[in-house]
Amino acid sequence: MATSSSRSIAMSRGLRRSLGGFTVLVLAVVYVPLLLVLINSFNTDNTFGWPPPGFTLHWWKVAAESSGARDALVTSVEVALCATAVALVLGTLAAMGLRRTRFFGRNAISLLIILPIALPGIVTGLAFQNGFRTILGVQLSIWTIVIAHATFCIVTVFNNVQARFQRLGASYEQASMDLGAGRWTTFRLITFPMLRSSLLAGALLSFGLSFDEIVVTTFTASSQDQTLPIWILQNLFRPNQAPVVNVVAAVLVIASAVPIYLAQRLSGSTAEGLTGAR
Amino acid sequence: MPTAISLRGLSKHFGQVRAVDELDLDIADGEFFSMLGPSGSGKTTVLRLIAGFEEPTAGVIMLGEEAVTRRPPFARDVNTVFQDYAIFPHMSVRENVEYGLRVKKVGRPDRRRRAEEALETVRLAGYADRRPHQLSGGQRQRVALARALVNRPRVLLLDEPLGALDLQLRREMQIELKEIQREVGITFVFVTHDQEEALTMSDRIAVFNEGRIEQLASPVELYERPASAFVAGFVGTSNLLQGRVARDLLGQDGTFVIRPEKLQMVAEAPAEAGRVSAPGVVREVVYLGAATLSVVELDAGPTVTVSHQNTDTSIDAALERRDQRVVVTWRRDHLVSLGSSDPAASPEEETA
């Protein structure tokens, strides 16, 4: 008995070790290139010679002074903030609407809300361009980007809020109403405070999704509205801009890592926090 | 005595299921009223209908003189202690207890004083600043009670509030709840599936079965005079004698029940008037501490349970009776008649 159990422990230890090695390998494949971007942003050689002949903050200074990059950043932040705001309101309302009532078509509606996150961006983008320009006759602007982004940003909020509702059950709200609080007071004092962290997690994910979105944005932005990812794409192949692009990319990596990290911390469980992150 | 709650023709159907079926019930002011029944018997649905969490399919709910049938929960002068307590986790104990007063715009000093009083009533003075996750199950249960009592509702509804507590604590809380109810004088409507709990605390008990009330009576009456085989079986243990067995042993047609503690085991049938005796074999002896249960297979057919108080220090004699022949005897007036048995039932199936 003793030998067999110790053997099984030894085997699982070997298995654990190889799994660990595999994990490290996969993570390296994902993150080493990102690290390269970060290091190259300090590379003195503007063709990214390897190993770097020296390190400089020059490109960071150039990037900071580039008005194109700055404007693109402002546009991206504006779009992401607006899309997130829309997603927060609509996503929460949708989750509340689909909460306890079972009505015909409930699952279909739930699927329709979640679907945009799985749709290929190019399809969404084309559909919106068609819809805005040909059918509605609306000029493309920052608002058309916001609307297009909001369709998939809603999903992160919806999923987070729905998961929270499921975990909470209905008894807290029933207790509140039982104690004399009307529906609005119950929402203000009980439901909202209990949703707060899941809303924040959903909002951060939504912000991250919108901020780095490129395909849908390409189709729904006018030629004047450049978001940061589009600016990067357009400047990538201009030789004298390449180092600046590197700096912007490095900033983006850091800027998107922070919200995801915070979202994970806030939602308490990894699964819930990342549901809907694509 | 004025009525606190009247239910008239109250029904609640969930699809095909009649959870509550044309219920008529009056609960008096200041009463400790229990609704007892197995799960799915409709007792919790009745409570939720009174609280306003469910809308009845048909019928009227009166709270005092007011019809509240279609009113939302926040417009009814009742409060509920939930089975899972539903203590708001993002609020302190004080904030939880003050909640009802806060939403009714009671001023802060008044609110605070009443919350302190309520916490004192449930023996939780000094816990106001704790967070819910720092409390034990029993303490949470008391917070839930204080949170409801602080509003001085006309009726307090309790949905199996002791179910999550361990046996020791449950016994303590049973006595305490009864004391608190006497102190505050509020009508308590208590839902439970635990017959002992209901018998211990209640002024009156309604036994529920399949959406209807089987019997509505005081604890003593319920136990001593069960109205149906269901009540006899659900409230305490009972021995059922019916059909041919009743005819053979009692010389009478009908269905009869008798409690285990009313039976005695003796060596020989006593020649005493007004007693019934039946010989049999002891099949099982179960020691329960305060009492010993003996399962006796009567020669007449049925198996009966006999309870015997362990007043001697040794129960060896009782244990040695296994597989011995004995005579079970009882007083005829201890039998409770449930009326004549259903003539449609075949005689073979009528033994207990």
In this model, does residue A127 exceed pLDDT 50?
yes
- Which residue, among A177, A179, A195, A196, would best test binding to B if mutated, counting the most B CBs under 10 Å from its CB? A179
In this model, does residue A164 exceed pLDDT 80?
yes
**pLDDT mean over A241-263:** 81
**pLDDT classification of B313: cutoffs 50, 70, 90:** low
- pLDDT given for residue B345 in this prediction: 38
**pLDDT classification of A268: cutoffs 50, 70, 90:** low
The residue assigned the tokens 């110790």 is A6
Write down the mean pLDDT value for chain A: 84
**pLDDT classification of A1: cutoffs 50, 70, 90:** very low
**pLDDT mean over A148-163:** 93
Ordered domains of chain B (ranges, CATH): 3-234 (3.40.50.300), 239-337 (2.40.50.140)
Provide, rounded to the nearest whole percent, the portion of chain A with pLDDT above 70: 90
- Which residue, among B47, B76, B85, B90, would best test binding to A if mutated, counting the most A CBs under 10 Å from its CB? B90
In this model, does residue A117 exceed pLDDT 90?
no
The residue assigned the tokens 């400047």 is A235
Write down the mean pLDDT value for chain B: 87
In this model, does residue B114 exceed pLDDT 70?
yes
Touching check for B89 and chain A: CB below 8 Å?
yes
In this model, does residue B122 exceed pLDDT 70?
yes
Touching check for B254 and chain A: CB below 8 Å?
no
- pLDDT given for residue A271 in this prediction: 41
The residue assigned the tokens 């404007």 is A71
Helices vs. strands in chain B: H and E counts, helices first = 10, 18
Which of A247-251, B50-54, B290-294 ranks highest by mean pLDDT? B50-54
In this model, does residue A235 exceed pLDDT 90?
no
In this model, does residue B215 exceed pLDDT 90?
yes
Provide, rounded to the nearest whole percent, the portion of chain B with pLDDT above 70: 93
- pLDDT given for residue A9 in this prediction: 58
- pLDDT given for residue B351 in this prediction: 38
- pLDDT given for residue B59 in this prediction: 93
Task: Closest CB to A180: pick one of B82, B84, B151.
Answer: B151
Ordered domains of chain A (ranges, CATH): 63-277 (1.10.3720.10)
**pLDDT classification of B107: cutoffs 50, 70, 90:** very high
The residues near B289 (Cβ < 8 Å, ≥ 6 apart) are: B310
- 3-class SS at A120? coil
Q: Please give the residue of chain B at the shortest CA–CA distance from A190.
A: B88
- pLDDT given for residue B187 in this prediction: 94
Name which of A198, A232, A216, A223 is nearest A80 in CA terms. A216
- pLDDT given for residue B255 in this prediction: 85
Q: What is the pLDDT of residues B34-69, one digit of tens each?
A: 999 998 899 999 999 999 999 999 999 999 889 999
In this model, does residue B223 exceed pLDDT 70?
yes
- pLDDT given for residue A274 in this prediction: 41
Across the interface, do A171 and B84 touch by the CB < 8 Å criterion?
A: yes
- pLDDT given for residue A2 in this prediction: 46
**pLDDT mean over B299-328:** 78
Question: What ipTM did this prediction achieve?
Answer: 0.81
- 3-class SS at B209? strand
Name which of B225, B86, B219, B215 is nearest B144 in CA terms. B86
**pLDDT classification of B348: cutoffs 50, 70, 90:** very low
In this model, does residue B347 exceed pLDDT 50?
no
Sheet strands (E) in chain B:
3-14, 17-28, 32-36, 58-63, 66-67, 78-81, 155-159, 187-192, 204-209, 212-217, 239-242, 255-258, 264-266, 275-287, 291-298, 303-309, 325-331, 336-337
**pLDDT mean over B65-91:** 92
**pLDDT classification of A28: cutoffs 50, 70, 90:** very high
Least confident of A14-18, A154-158, A256-260: A256-260
Q: Please give the residue of chain A at the shortest CA–CA distance from B157.
A: A178
- pLDDT given for residue A217 in this prediction: 92
The residues near B12 (Cβ < 8 Å, ≥ 6 apart) are: B18, B19, B20, B42, B45, B49, B54, B56, B57
* More confident position, B31 or A52: B31
- pLDDT given for residue A56 in this prediction: 84
Q: pTM for the whole thing?
A: 0.77
Letter for the amino acid at A128?
Answer: F
Provide, rounded to the nearest whole percent, the portion of chain A with pLDDT above 90: 35
Across the interface, do B90 and A194 touch by the CB < 8 Å criterion?
A: yes
Whether B29 contacts B210, CB under 8 Å: no
* More confident position, A233 or A102: A233
Across the interface, do B73 and A189 touch by the CB < 8 Å criterion?
A: no
**pLDDT mean over A128-137:** 88
Give the total residue count for chain A. 278
- 3-class SS at A43? strand
Q: Distance, in angstroms, between A161 CA and closest chain B CA?
A: 17
- Residues in chain B within 8 Å Cβ distance of A190: 88
**pLDDT mean over A243-247:** 84
